[in-house]
Amino acid sequence: MIDAAPETYLAQRKLLRILGLGFGLAVVVGGTIGVSIFRLPGPTAALLGNTWLILAVWTLGGLFILLNANYMAELATMIPKAGGPYVYARRAYGEFAGFAVGWSDWLGNVAAVAFLPIAFAEYAIALFAPSFAGITIVAVAFLLLLTFLNSIGLRAGSGAQKLTSFLKAIALFSFVAACFALGGRHNSTNVGTTTLAAPGSAFGLLVAVVLSFQLILGAYGGWNSVIYFAEEDENPGLNIPRSLHGGVLLVVGIYLLVNLALLHVLPLPQMAASKLAAADAMQIVFGARSGQIVTALVLLSIVAVVNAALMFTPRTLYALGRDGLFSTKAVVVNQGGTPVVALAVTVLVATILISLGTFEKLMAIYAFFAVANNIVLIGALFVLRKRSPDSPRPFRAWAYPFAPLGVLLISIALFVGFIISDTRDSIYALMMLAASYPIYRLIKKKSV
């Protein structure tokens, strides 16, 4: 996999520095808001059983992500290079730690690139051709279409991201407005119900809050998409912190509005029993056409998320290749600013996963690494503050060390909870981590 002469591709390594705040906000919002906001309100309501508790936990989830954005903004502006978490782990802990973080991050993102086109195909077929059985064909065709768009260049990919994220936001605001404007007159059930049967004890309530908090954090996945493009931002020291904090706040606001809209239309018992609360709300508001409206919203959400993932996932391979931890051909960038080899490898692996259907296991394993990597990166903030106190930091994390330390403690608790709740996949993840060292040594040997 490793070529002996990385300098061969030196002239082709340059990424285009053309991105700004607009793209940063678009990739955070578009890369975060997906299918989860349509699926999770029901299970969350079932766990918590109280309107105010539901809104409080969604808010707490957003605040936790905002605190993560706080420390991540310092790392991304201190080391404004393509590659995301890999770059910071490598600087703080050394090459192998960076390799382990980079490969687990890339593999998990590839699994998402495979999973989401399958979801897109299922919804698209349900909307346009219910009798068609070719889910894999539609999924691969959708993936290749977005791949072609991104292969044209960074301007095409970023333009598509801005457009799809804007349309998604407008669609969700329209959904909220329709629920508030039309929901009450169609719903004769007791909308005022704000509480179901409460958990039987304080411990039961705590468990319900923790479980719902874990669910809600899944809806915020993708919040850090902009950090992968630090090398391509015109002013990363200014734009990345604004994109991270502004984007997360926009997502939190949208999530709260959607939940308020659903609670306005649906009685709490009905919402708690629903697998797709948005569809039930649309049924009340729009009647027979509700299914098509919600499906269209889901499709639009998936397009924006997949486009974002296709843009940032290859940047990790690009960074690994540049540092001799993957084929140096991964640093080849076309005239439009796209790392085309890294994109091709990413799409090839995603296509194989779509065909094999093995991405679900990878996503479960990635969930382990996502939490573990978050702990590693918070630690990197402390390590680099101590080791490199005089390095330029265009943005410094607020309330250091207390805010990052609080995030670290919560992340450790979540990590322990993940191991307890999904021990089998945790063991698989640890086996993958153990196997990464001989792979790393083999790559290093071939690169000599």
Q: What confidence score (pLDDT) does residue 357 get?
A: 78
User: HEC profile for 400-417?
Assistant: CCHHHHHHHHHHHHHHHH
Helix (H, G, I), strand (E, B) or coil at 233: strand
Q: Is the peptide bond before 401 cis (omega within 30 degrees of 0)?
A: yes
CA distances from 196 to 37, 46, 48, 264, 391 (A): 21, 8, 8, 16, 53
Helices (H) and strands (E) counted in the chain, each on its own, are 17, 0
Structure tokens at 256: 């709260």
Structure pTM?
Answer: 0.91
- Nearest 5°: the CA angle 350, 351, 357 is 85
Which pLDDT band, with edges at 50, 70 and 90, does 197 fall under?
Answer: low
Work out the pLDDT band at 279, boundaries 50, 70, 90. confident
- Measured in whole angstroms, the distance separating CA 430 from the mean position of its chain's CA atoms is 22
- pLDDT computed for residue 1 by the predictor: 44
Tokens of 23: 């793209």
Phi, psi of 333 (to 5 degrees): -120, 130
**CB under 8 Å to 189, separation ≥6 — which residues?**
267, 270
Give the C-alpha separation, 355 to 425, whole Å.
22
Q: CA 27, CA 305: separation in Å to the nearest integer? A: 8
Q: pLDDT by residue (tens digit) across 330-367?
A: 999 999 999 999 999 999 999 999 988 777 777 777 88
150 with 338: CB under 8 angstroms? Answer: yes
CA distance 398 to 395: 9
Residue 148's CB is within 10 A of a number of other CB atoms, namely: 11
- C-alpha 47/C-alpha 421 separation (Å) is 16
Task: Assess contact for 107 and 362: CB atoms under 8 A.
Answer: yes
For residue 370, give both structure tokens.
């996502």
Torsion of CA 349, 355, 361, 367, to 10 degrees: 50
pLDDT digits (tens, 9 = 90+) for 118-152: 999 999 998 888 888 889 999 999 999 999 999 99
CA pair distance 381, 71, nearest whole angstrom: 7
Confidence grade of residue 203 (pLDDT, cut at 50, 70, 90): confident
CA distances from 187 to 134, 194, 257 (A): 38, 16, 19
